[in-house]
């Protein structure tokens, strides 16, 4: 156990967890819990930056918790809790809203994507969302943050906020500058229908993603229908440059099979894409379906999931309160 490393990450409870969340984040969460102290959070306050039906949100918080456990997180080894149950997240987010600069937030590409063309109608919460994300991480003085590539810019903002706070309040090293841990091979799993867009919970077509709760039948149908390429599989990565869907399928296969992409291409070159699709389907069914089944089973005992969150919140609150006390002191609050 490396005691200096403290891992924090979060997942929004906004619907079905999918293969992007699994390969980009959850699998890494599980690996990290073997060697480090880890805190994993169901970030419900982030979810409400866009309207959520209360009943749906309640259920999604529990389902995301079930997704954590079903993927292999152990609530004894790692702290697992939901963000809103530790009020320090909201308090530190306010403090950071006073440290963070408008110019920094104006550069956030995810806000631009999510707010769409009518920014006037986006919630203020959506705009200052990255300040809350910095608060999540720095409330625990986390040093490492496993995320997919889409969160890289937010992580950079967290580092900027930490650095400015340390400088403004003359306390070098008070907040660590958190390092992103981004998977090397598939840092961004793309939509199965459009290889230029990331796989996401909110994409309208369910055929664009593999959900962790999909049945073997669903997975087979979705991979069969996934866009690929009309020519055969090439023998080198460069030839995939303008073929985002083909690159995506082969990269997912490489990640799930644990065979590096060069080797996959050597083995499969000259074959058509139905070949990789068949192999990928088999692998996904054996890796994803057990996770989905476990999520469904865990959702049958909501009290158990609520207990996990409650115990995790108690542990998180102790660390958060201690750190907040020092943060308030640094600022001059009494
Ligand atoms: P969220 O809920 O959108 O996604 C959860 C995690 O899954 C990763 N991910 C992907 N990785 C690869 N390919 C994809 N298509 C894909 N889609 C999602 C995300 O990168 C993320 O790691 N802002 C965060 C939640 C958050 C957070 C935090 C994360 C709030 N506070 C503090 C880390 C630390 C988000 O919306 O993730």
Q: What would the DSSP string read from start to end of 128-155?
A: HHHHHHHHHHHTTT--EEE--GGGHHHH
Kindly state whether residues 230 and 278 are assigned to the same domain.
yes
Give the pLDDT confidence score for residue 1 in this predicted structure.
Answer: 46
The mean of the pLDDT values for the chain is 96
DSSP assignment of 107-134 equals T-HHHHHHHTT-GGGS-HHHHHHHHHHH
Give the pLDDT confidence score for residue 3 in this predicted structure.
Answer: 56
Residue 30's CATH number: 3.40.50.620
Whether 151 is in the pocket of ligand 1, judged by its Cβ within 6 Å, is yes
Kindly state whether residues 109 and 255 are assigned to the same domain.
no
Q: For residues 146 and 29, give the distance between their C-alpha atoms in angstroms, rounded to a whole number.
A: 7
Whether 10 is in the pocket of ligand 1, judged by its Cβ within 6 Å, is yes
Task: List, for residues 235-274, the tens digit of each pLDDT value.
Answer: 999 999 999 999 999 999 999 999 999 999 999 999 999 9
Answer yes or no: is pLDDT of 2 > 60: no
Whether 150 is in the pocket of ligand 1, judged by its Cβ within 6 Å, is yes
Structure tokens given for 184: 């090397």
Give the pLDDT confidence score for residue 44 in this predicted structure.
Answer: 98
Domain count, the chain: 2
Task: List, for residues 97-129, the tens digit of each pLDDT value.
Answer: 999 999 999 999 999 888 888 889 999 999 999
Q: For residues 134 and 100, give the distance between their C-alpha atoms in angstroms, rounded to a whole number.
A: 10
Give the pLDDT confidence score for residue 202 in this predicted structure.
Answer: 86
Kindly state whether residues 21 and 142 are assigned to the same domain.
yes
Kindly state whether residues 322 and 250 are assigned to the same domain.
no
| Pairing label, strands 144-146, 179-181 | parallel
Whether 145 is in the pocket of ligand 1, judged by its Cβ within 6 Å, is yes
Answer yes or no: is pLDDT of 18 > 90: yes
Kindly state whether residues 138 and 283 are assigned to the same domain.
no
Kindly state whether residues 265 and 284 are assigned to the same domain.
yes
* Look-up of token digits 């805190």: 39
Domain that holds residue 311: 6-187+301-331
SS3 per-residue string spanning 199-264: CCCCCCCHHHCCECCCCHHHHHHHHHHCCCCCCCCCCCHHHHCCCHHHHHHHHHHHHHHCCCHHHH
The rounded Å distance from CA 178 to ligand 1 centre is 16
Q: For residues 247 and 239, give the distance between their C-alpha atoms in angstroms, rounded to a whole number.
A: 9
Task: List, for residues 24-56, the tens digit of each pLDDT value.
Answer: 999 999 999 999 999 999 999 999 999 999 999
Task: List, for residues 69-96, the tens digit of each pLDDT value.
Answer: 999 999 999 999 999 999 999 999 999 9
Nearest ligand 1 atom, CA 189 = 13
pTM comes to 0.96
| Share above pLDDT 70 across residues of the chain, in percent, rounded to a whole number | 99
The rounded Å distance from CA 150 to ligand 1 centre is 7
* Look-up of token digits 């090439």: 234
Residue 212's CATH number: 1.10.240.10
Is 200 among the domain residues? no
Kindly state whether residues 177 and 243 are assigned to the same domain.
no
The rounded Å distance from CA 197 to ligand 1 centre is 15
What are the residue numbers of the active site?
114, 198, 201
Structure tokens given for 266: 């050597």
Average pLDDT over every residue of 272-295: 98
């Amino acid at each position: 156990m490396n005691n200096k490393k403290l891992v924090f990450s979060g997942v929004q409870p906004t619907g079905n967890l999918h293969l992007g969340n699994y390969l980009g984040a959850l699998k890494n969460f599980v690996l990290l819990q073997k060697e480090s102290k880890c805190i994993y959070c169901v970030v419900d306050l982030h979810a409400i930056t866009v309207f959520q039906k209360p009943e749906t949100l309640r259920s999604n918080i529990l389902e995301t918790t079930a997704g954590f456990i079903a993927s292999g997180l152990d609530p004894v080894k790692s702290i697992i809790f939901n963000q809103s149950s530790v009020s320090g997240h909201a308090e530190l987010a306010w403090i950071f809203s006073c440290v963070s600069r408008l110019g920094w937030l104006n550069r956030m590409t995810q806000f631009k994507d999510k707010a769409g063309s009518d920014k006037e109608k986006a919630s203020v919460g959506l705009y200052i969302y990255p300040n809350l994300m910095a608060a999540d991480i720095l409330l625990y003085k986390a040093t490492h943050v496993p995320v997919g590539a889409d969160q890289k810019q937010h992580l950079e903002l967290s580092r900027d906020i930490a650095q400015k706070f340390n400088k403004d309040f003359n306390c070098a090293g008070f907040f660590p500058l958190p390092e992103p841990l981004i998977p090397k091979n598939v840092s961004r799993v793309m939509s199965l229908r459009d290889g230029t867009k990331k796989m996401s919970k909110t994409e309208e077509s369910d055929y664009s993603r593999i959900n962790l709760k999909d049945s073997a039948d669903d997975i087979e149908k979705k991979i069969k229908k996934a866009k690929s390429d009309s020519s055969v599989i090439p023998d080198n990565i460069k030839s995939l440059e303008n073929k985002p869907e083909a690159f995506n399928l082969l990269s997912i296969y490489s990640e799930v099979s644990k065979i590096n992409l060069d080797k996959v291409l050597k083995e499969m070159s000259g074959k058509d894409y139905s070949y990789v699709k068949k192999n990928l389907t088999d692998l996904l069914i054996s890796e994803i379906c057990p996770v989905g089944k476990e999520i469904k089973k865990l959702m049958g005992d909501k009290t158990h999931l609520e207990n996990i969150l409650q115990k995790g919140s108690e542990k998180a609150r102790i660390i958060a309160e201690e750190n907040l006390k020092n943060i308030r002191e640094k600022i001059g609050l009494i």
